[in-house]
Chain A
Amino acid sequence: MSDNQKKMTIIVTKGTLDWAYPPFILASTAASLDVDVTLFFTFYGLQLLKKDLSHLQISTLGNPAMEMPMMGMHMTMPNLISAIPGVDAMASNMMRNLIKKKGVASIPELRDICVESDVKIVGCQMTLDLFEWSKDSMIPEMELGGAATYMAEALESDINLYI
């Protein structure tokens, strides 16, 4: 890293399909602007480092701001309906179709670009132990670390975000 290269870190704490976007969009874009990026995945955010991302879902529960274009109008989901099993899966499929239709990148695509552009990907060791996930189920580019690993990067960064 050259002396004048800008640095950014993001703590990624959320593991839903919608909340996976901000960290991966910012990280891939920052990398394209020659920023040195470190992503630290902790708690539910660690889901985003699993090799297979097809299980990612959105949750319609308690999200009155989520409006999806449907049959010429915008639909919001009452909490009572969100609680029915299968509704999140259905809404997640609708979201995936919408993403494809609108030319928005998929999460696996954005993650691949991050890996290709040398974004440093750190997984939280404690979270891995806590949820008993195997390291083999995670992408091989993941390095494991803890709070001190993150702090060392954050202290010398220009931008530190928590998402």
Chain B
Amino acid sequence: MATQTLDTKGMNCPLPILKTKKAIKGLNSGETLEVLSTDPGSVKDMEAFCKSTGNTLVSSTENGGVYTYVIEKA
């Protein structure tokens, strides 16, 4: 179970990433954020975001057009 959930459904690039950054800021190291998105472009973007910021992308899944990411704060 993630520490916090962020719903960005309906938002387009780059909003899911910008909102994710803001939400991660409020977490402590080791805590996790679950992000929901309907933007297909967010799959690659979330990978790139985690790679650049050093946070861990624990999982990236898709179900019925909704993408779910779990990110662990570094």
Residues in chain A within 8 A of chain B (CB atoms)? 25, 28-29, 32-34, 102-105, 113, 117
Number of A-B residue pairs, CB cutoff 8 Å, is 35
Question: Are the CB atoms of A113 and B18 closer together than 8 Å?
Answer: yes
Instruction: A137 to B49: give the CA distance in the assembly, Å.
Output: 35
Contact of B10 among A25, A29, A103, A113 (CB under 8 A): A103
**Provided the pairs A28-B18, A113-B18 are in contact, do residues A33 and B52 lie with their beta carbons within 8 angstroms?**
yes
Chain A residues with Cβ under 8 A from B52's Cβ? 33-34
Interface presence of B2 (CB below 8 A): no
Instruction: A117 to B19: give the CA distance in the assembly, Å.
Output: 12
Residues in chain B within 8 A of chain A (CB atoms)? 10-15, 17-18, 20-21, 48-49, 52-53
Question: Are the CB atoms of A34 and B53 closer together than 8 Å?
Answer: yes
Question: Are the CB atoms of A29 and B53 closer together than 8 Å?
Answer: no
Question: Are the CB atoms of A105 and B15 closer together than 8 Å?
Answer: yes
Chain A residues with Cβ under 8 A from B10's Cβ? 103
Contact of A29 among B11, B12, B14 (CB under 8 A): B14
Instruction: A29 to B14: give the CA distance in the assembly, Å.
Output: 7
Closest to A32 in B: B21
Closest to B50 in A: A33
Chain A nearest CB from B14 CB (Å) reads 5
**Provided the pairs A34-B52, A34-B53 are in contact, do residues A29 and B15 lie with their beta carbons within 8 angstroms?**
no
